[in-house]
């Protein structure tokens, strides 16, 4: 099995790339590579694993392993943490120079000492761990603990995060069938959600339960533990250490240089070929996952602004209750698979954080329905009261969710207008015509006529005469290009340099997609009309106040109808002949 990040999803830890409105990229993605020693490029099938633990699993008693981590602390701090009632659930200890040390538990942070961390405290800790590799991580021999360093500008260590590592049998239970399918899996999740733990467990299952020859390429010794003898948590899998993780990642990472080159040239990143991974797993919490069975379809969907189809998997609540009743289990001494530590509060916090932070993480309710999700028909009304339309919808006894009113042309699938009003407004006609949006007119705005109009419109829709906007007709690659161009401009110029950027000219619909992306970064943009129905977007940095912005605010189209009607000079005069519009039967 090969676990790697695909080109289009892999970013350095601090890159943020929201692709959907109201979401921010996860803080980081991690990758680990497993490969079969005899046939490196091929993926190795992962078979269904039984849940029974291997006979010999634990390197040492869990308390002994935890003790090795606590030994990094000065004595008084060690005593305070050891007395904590949730000691066995300890997640990590944070020691930052000049600050009070913290112990992180699922229930929250615990201040270990009122005295700030000194240089001596940090030296005491670092003296007991192995060498820090280029990724700034070190371990403690024959344990799964991981120590990450923060350095100052002169490279001296000024902060440590001491993460407790545990081998947990059953942590990969929810992925059994995927493991069995043998597909390449991409695991995505925010820090500390349990990716490493799952990968370790998959390796153990493969090696011990299925007698596969498994080689773990262990980037920072997180999976097999530090030292030359791997931790028992990987079972009989073998482990290959990586001397320089920089080189390993350069096969898979889009470097900053390359990224800025692309940004400057306004070329784009798109899915050029098949993904390395057939399937992706978003780890929402220790008890909940989202499966993207076709990673390619997910990426295509997100790039084109649609919601991907996902499968949500949760541990059964009964199982959770049993676990909670039994109490959390600290380490690999688990007797059966259901004994996985659960903490409700932690889990809820995980879900909430992720909904805010990740481009792939969609609101739960949206995700769960996404496979049956049917888009509503969006109607732009002109010269007809909204109340009349709503009444008509009621009269037709149709599902209100199936038809929505919009005052944004870029979203509309159809225009319903009073004939006399439309005749007088050539700009609206031209705007709808240029966007290839069908126009329906009624002679009066009475309920009867409006109802008939909507009935006719719906029947055309069902017959396929109205499509979901012409945006659907645009090639996915064009949408992907445009979105990537906007993202690059935002992340490489607008945000870091505080400068406005003009994007390449695009069709109105594509510019609308770019505008949505810009707004998801809480930035503003102006849609500027060019020749023959071509527009381009100018992305403005936050707090960008110039005469140009003020002028553009008053004169350029920002997607709202009124602005458009008053400013779209390019379509002025190209009046559609109203007589050729479909006039609804009275
Ligand atoms: N199923 C589980 N039950 C209980 N504890 C778990 C479970 N999975 C992981 N943990 C614990 O949660 C902590 C974080 O796990 P892990 O290091 O695997 O996360 P990660 O996603 O790989 O983190 P990072 O992104 O920071 O490398 C560890 O202390 C681990 O022991």
Q: 149 forms bridges with which residues in the sheet?
A: 160
Instruction: Find, among 160, 176, 261, the residue nearest to 210 by Cα.
Output: 176
Return the best residue to mutate from 28, 161, 194, 333 for the ligand 1 pocket (most ligand atoms within 8 A of CB): 194
Task: Check if the interface score ipTM surpasses 0.85.
Answer: yes
- For residue range 451-480, list pLDDT tens digits in order: 888 888 877 676 555 554 445 556 666 777
Give the pLDDT confidence score for residue 142 in this predicted structure.
84
Q: What is the distance, to the nearest Å, from the Cα of residue 355 to the centroid of all Cα atoms in its chain?
A: 9
CA–centroid distance, residue 296 to ligand 1 (Å): 27
Return the best residue to mutate from 51, 192, 219, 343 for the ligand 1 pocket (most ligand atoms within 8 A of CB): 192
Residue 449: which H helix or E strand, with range? helix 447-462
Tokens 């259901």 map to which residue? 338
Higher pLDDT, 41 or 229: 229
For residues 286-303, give the mean pLDDT.
83
Give the pLDDT confidence score for residue 148 in this predicted structure.
92
Torsion angle defined by CA atoms of residues 412, 366, 307 and 2, in that order, rounded to the nearest 10 degrees: 180
The ligand 1 site (C-beta within 6 Å) comprises 30, 91, 163-166, 168, 171, 189, 191-197, 286, 340-341
For residues 185-195, give the mean pLDDT.
88
Residue 67, classed as helix, strand or coil, is helix
The ligand 1 atom at the shortest distance from the C-alpha of residue 189 is: 21
Residue with CA at minimum distance from ligand 1 atom 31: 166
Give the pLDDT confidence score for residue 119 in this predicted structure.
95
Q: How far is residue 380's CA from residue 457's CA, in Å, rounded to a whole number?
A: 12
Q: Under a CB-based contact definition with an 8 Å cutoff, are residues 340 and 366 in contact? A: no
Q: Which domains does the chain have, with CATH numbers?
A: 33-57+168-371 (no CATH), 62-163 (3.30.450), 377-472 (3.40.50), 474-555 (3.30.1370.160)
Tokens 């001491």 map to which residue? 162
Residue with CA at minimum distance from ligand 1 atom 11: 194
Q: How far is residue 505's CA from residue 503's CA, in Å, rounded to a whole number?
A: 6
Split at pLDDT 50, 70, 90, the class of 317 is low
Split at pLDDT 50, 70, 90, the class of 484 is confident
Give the pLDDT confidence score for residue 491 in this predicted structure.
85
Residue with CA at minimum distance from ligand 1 atom 9: 194
Residue 577 has pLDDT above 50, yes or no: no
Residue 310 has pLDDT above 70, yes or no: yes
Q: What separation, in Å, do the N-terminal and C-terminal C-alpha atoms of the chain show?
A: 66
Q: How far is CA 466 from CA 308, 456, 575, in A?
A: 23, 11, 22
The ligand 1 atom at the shortest distance from the C-alpha of residue 340 is: 3
Residue with CA at minimum distance from ligand 1 atom 5: 341
CA–centroid distance, residue 311 to ligand 1 (Å): 22
CA–centroid distance, residue 84 to ligand 1 (Å): 20
The ligand 1 atom at the shortest distance from the C-alpha of residue 287 is: 1
Q: How far is residue 304's CA from residue 319's CA, in Å, rounded to a whole number?
A: 38
For 425, residues 6+ apart whose C-beta sits below 8 A from its C-beta are 382, 565
CA–centroid distance, residue 27 to ligand 1 (Å): 16
Residue 502: which H helix or E strand, with range? strand 501-502
CA–centroid distance, residue 171 to ligand 1 (Å): 10
Q: What is the distance, to the nearest Å, from the Cα of residue 99 to the centroid of all Cα atoms in its chain?
A: 32
Q: Under a CB-based contact definition with an 8 Å cutoff, are residues 457 and 466 in contact? A: yes
Return the best residue to mutate from 13, 104, 144, 166 for the ligand 1 pocket (most ligand atoms within 8 A of CB): 166
CA–centroid distance, residue 44 to ligand 1 (Å): 25
- Confidence (pTM): 0.48
Residue 45 has pLDDT above 50, yes or no: no
Q: For the ranges 21-25, 270-274, 357-361, 533-537, which has the lowest average pLDDT?
A: 21-25
Give the pLDDT confidence score for residue 305 in this predicted structure.
60
The ligand 1 atom at the shortest distance from the C-alpha of residue 92 is: 29
For residues 420-439, give the mean pLDDT.
80
Residue 58 has pLDDT above 70, yes or no: no
Top mean-pLDDT range of 90-104, 201-215, 367-381, 488-502:
90-104
- For residue range 63-122, list pLDDT tens digits in order: 788 999 999 999 999 999 999 998 988 999 999 999 999 999 988 899 999 999 999 999
Q: For the ranges 171-180, 268-277, 477-486, which has the lowest average pLDDT?
A: 268-277
Q: What is the distance, to the nearest Å, from the Cα of residue 149 to the centroid of all Cα atoms in its chain?
A: 26
Instruction: Find, among 2, 31, 12, 1, the residue nearest to 253 by Cα.
Output: 12
Split at pLDDT 50, 70, 90, the class of 149 is very high
Residue with CA at minimum distance from ligand 1 atom 7: 194
Residue 158 has pLDDT above 60, yes or no: yes
Higher pLDDT, 162 or 13: 162
- For residue range 256-276, list pLDDT tens digits in order: 454 454 443 333 345 567 778
Instruction: Find, among 143, 125, 362, the residue nearest to 234 by Cα.
Output: 143
Split at pLDDT 50, 70, 90, the class of 316 is low
Split at pLDDT 50, 70, 90, the class of 53 is very low
Residue with CA at minimum distance from ligand 1 atom 8: 194
CA–centroid distance, residue 233 to ligand 1 (Å): 14
What does residue 525 show for φ and ψ, rounded to 5 degrees?
A: -150, 160
Q: For the ranges 30-44, 63-77, 535-549, which has the lowest average pLDDT?
A: 30-44
Q: What is the distance, to the nearest Å, from the Cα of residue 324 to the centroid of all Cα atoms in its chain?
A: 30
The ligand 1 atom at the shortest distance from the C-alpha of residue 90 is: 29
CA–centroid distance, residue 297 to ligand 1 (Å): 29
The ligand 1 atom at the shortest distance from the C-alpha of residue 286 is: 1
The ligand 1 atom at the shortest distance from the C-alpha of residue 170 is: 1
DSSP code at position 117: B
For residues 477-491, give the mean pLDDT.
83
CA–centroid distance, residue 105 to ligand 1 (Å): 12
Q: For the ranges 94-98, 291-295, 548-552, which has the lowest average pLDDT?
A: 548-552
Residue 560 has pLDDT above 70, yes or no: no
Give the pLDDT confidence score for residue 62 in this predicted structure.
60
- Average pLDDT for the chain: 68
Instruction: Find, among 109, 117, 115, the residue nearest to 81 by Cα.
Output: 109
Instruction: Find, among 351, 283, 330, the residue nearest to 105 by Cα.
Output: 330
Radius of gyration of the chain (CA): 29
The ligand 1 atom at the shortest distance from the C-alpha of residue 197 is: 18
Residue 44 has pLDDT above 50, yes or no: no
Split at pLDDT 50, 70, 90, the class of 318 is low
The ligand 1 atom at the shortest distance from the C-alpha of residue 30 is: 25
Return the best residue to mutate from 197, 319, 347, 353 for the ligand 1 pocket (most ligand atoms within 8 A of CB): 197
Give the pLDDT confidence score for residue 375 in this predicted structure.
56
Return the best residue to mutate from 13, 196, 354 for the ligand 1 pocket (most ligand atoms within 8 A of CB): 196
């Amino acid at each position: 099995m090969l676990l790697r990040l695909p080109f289009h999803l892999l970013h350095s830890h601090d890159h943020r790339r929201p692709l959907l409105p109201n979401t921010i990229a996860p803080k980081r993605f991690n990758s680990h590579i497993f490969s079969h020693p005899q046939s490196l490029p091929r993926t190795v099938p992962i078979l269904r694993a039984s849940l029974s633990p291997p006979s010999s699993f634990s390197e040492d008693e869990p308390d002994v392993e935890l003790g090795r981590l606590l030994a990094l602390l000065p004595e008084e701090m060690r005593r305070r943490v050891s007395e904590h009632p949730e000691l066995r659930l300890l997640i990590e200890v944070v020691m930052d120079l000049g600050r009070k040390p913290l112990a992180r538990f699922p229930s929250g942070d615990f201040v270990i000492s009122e005295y700030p961390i000194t240089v001596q405290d940090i030296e005491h800790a670092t003296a007991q761990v192995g060498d820090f590799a280029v990724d700034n991580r070190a371990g403690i021999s024959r344990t799964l603990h991981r120590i990450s360093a923060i350095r100052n500008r002169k490279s001296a260590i000024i902060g440590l995060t001491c993460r407790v590592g545990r081998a947990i049998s059953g942590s990969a239970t929810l992925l059994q069938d995927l493991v069995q399918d043998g597909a390449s899996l991409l695991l995505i999740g925010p820090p500390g959600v349990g990716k490493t733990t799952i990968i370790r467990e998959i390796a153990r299952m493969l090696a011990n339960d299925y007698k596969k020859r498994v080689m773990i390429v262990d980037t920072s010794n997180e999976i097999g533990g530090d030292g030359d003898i791997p931790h028992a948590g990987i079972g009989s899998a073998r482990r290959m250490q990586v001397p320089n993780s920089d080189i390993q990642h350069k096969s898979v990472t889009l470097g900053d240089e390359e990224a800025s080159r692309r940004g400057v040239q306004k070329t784009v990143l798109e899915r050029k070929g098949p993904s390395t991974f057939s399937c992706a797993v978003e780890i929402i919490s220790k008890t909940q996952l989202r499966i993207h069975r076709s990673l390619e379809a997910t990426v295509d969907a997100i790039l084109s602004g649609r919601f991907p189809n996902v499968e949500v998997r949760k541990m059964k609540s009964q199982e959770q209750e049993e676990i909670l009743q039994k109490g959390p289990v600290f380490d690999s001494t688990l007797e059966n698979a259901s004994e996985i530590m659960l903490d409700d509060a932690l889990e809820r916090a995980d879900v909430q954080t992720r909904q805010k932070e990740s481009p792939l993480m969609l609101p739960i309710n949206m995700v769960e329905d996404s496979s049956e999700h049917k888009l509503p028909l969006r109607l732009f009304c002109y010269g007809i009261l909204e109340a009349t339309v709503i009444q008509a919808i009621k009269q037709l006894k149709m599902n209100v969710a199936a038809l929505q009113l919009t005052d944004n042309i870029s979203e509309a699938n159809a225009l319903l207008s009073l004939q006399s009003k439309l005749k007088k407004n050539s700009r609206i006609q031209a705007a709808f015509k240029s966007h290839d949006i069908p126009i329906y007119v009624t002679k009066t705005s009475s309920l009867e006529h409006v109802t008939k109009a909507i009935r006719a419109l719906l029947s055309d829709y069902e017959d396929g005469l109205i499509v979901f906007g012409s945006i659907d007709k645009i090639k996915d690659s064009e949408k992907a290009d445009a979105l990537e161009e906007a993202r690059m401009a935002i992340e490489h110029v607008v945000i870091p340099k505080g400068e406005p950027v003009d994007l390449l000219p695009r069709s109105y619909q594509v510019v609308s997609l770019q505008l949505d992306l810009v707004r998801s970064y809480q930035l503003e943009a102006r849609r500027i009309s060019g020749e023959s129905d071509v527009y381009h977007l100018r992305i403005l940095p936050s707090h960008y106040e110039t005469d140009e912005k003020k002028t553009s605010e008053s004169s350029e189209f920002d997607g709202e109808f009124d602005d458009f009607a008053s400013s779209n000079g390019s379509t002025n005069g190209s009046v559609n002949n109203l007589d050729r519009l479909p006039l609804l039967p009275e």
